Amino acid sequence: MAPQRATFKGKLKERCDHSSEKERKGGGQAEGGEGSGQHLRNAVGKNEQIKIDREEVVKVGADELPADAEFKGYEPSIVQDVQIKSDNIRFLKEKYYSASEQKTYLAKLPAGYVGQKWPF
């Protein structure tokens, strides 16, 4: 005897209420998709949270400007970058010698540092 197959009533579209690819990616107008300006509002909010380490003025070359050009301020542009750099420190430890005690006194490195002995 063959196994019974399950039967479903109703239209497939009514049972499967899945969102479209466009809706899931936020492309619909109501969800802040293209043309709604939502992406611009989010970008401004995120930029306010970025810590600015330095600020540089980028100038337009005088030879590029017509004679009647007027300065109208600045347009900010934030660029995020990551720097990995070395921080090599040469500590000059004070060194004293006591002739009466025939002993050398050498300053210790600051807490948290471990160094090599001279010469290395």
Domain ranges of the chain: 91-120
| Residue 52 and residue 78 in contact, taking contact as beta carbons nearer than 8 Å | yes
pTM of the model: 0.38
Contacts of 70 (CB under 8 A, 6+ apart): none
pLDDT digits (tens, 9 = 90+) for 5-20: 767 666 555 555 556 6
| Residue 100 and residue 82 in contact, taking contact as beta carbons nearer than 8 Å | no
Q: What is the DSSP letter of 61?
A: P
As a whole number of angstroms, the distance between CA 92 and CA 104 comes to: 15
pLDDT computed for residue 32 by the predictor: 46
As a whole number of angstroms, the distance between CA 63 and CA 23 comes to: 49
Per-residue pLDDT of the chain (120 residues; tens, 9 = 90+): 666 776 766 655 555 555 666 666 655 444 444 455 555 555 567 778 888 989 999 999 999 999 999 999 999 989 999 999 998 888 899 999 999 999 999 999 998 888 766 565
| Residue 26 and residue 32 in contact, taking contact as beta carbons nearer than 8 Å | yes
